[in-house]
Amino acid sequence: MDILVVNPNTTASMTEKIGEAARGAASAGTRIIA
């Protein structure tokens, strides 16, 4: 499964943090695109 994370804030550092949090919560085999 792929999950696309959309950050309306548009700050690269915040997008990175959101992606890291999503990867930490995702199940094995889930790809987070941030």
Phi/psi of residue 30, nearest 5 degrees = -95, 130
Instruction: Tell me if 5 sits within 8 A of 22, measured CB to CB.
Output: yes
Question: Per residue in 20-29, pLDDT tens?
Answer: 999 999 999 9
Res. 7 pLDDT band, cuts 50 70 90: confident
How many domains does the chain fold into? 1
Give the structural domain span for 7.
2-33
Average pLDDT, integer, range 7-12:
84
* 10-20 confidence digits (pLDDT tens): 788 998 999 99
With 0-12 / 13-18 / 19 or more C-beta atoms within 10 angstroms meaning exposed / middle / buried, residue 15 is middle
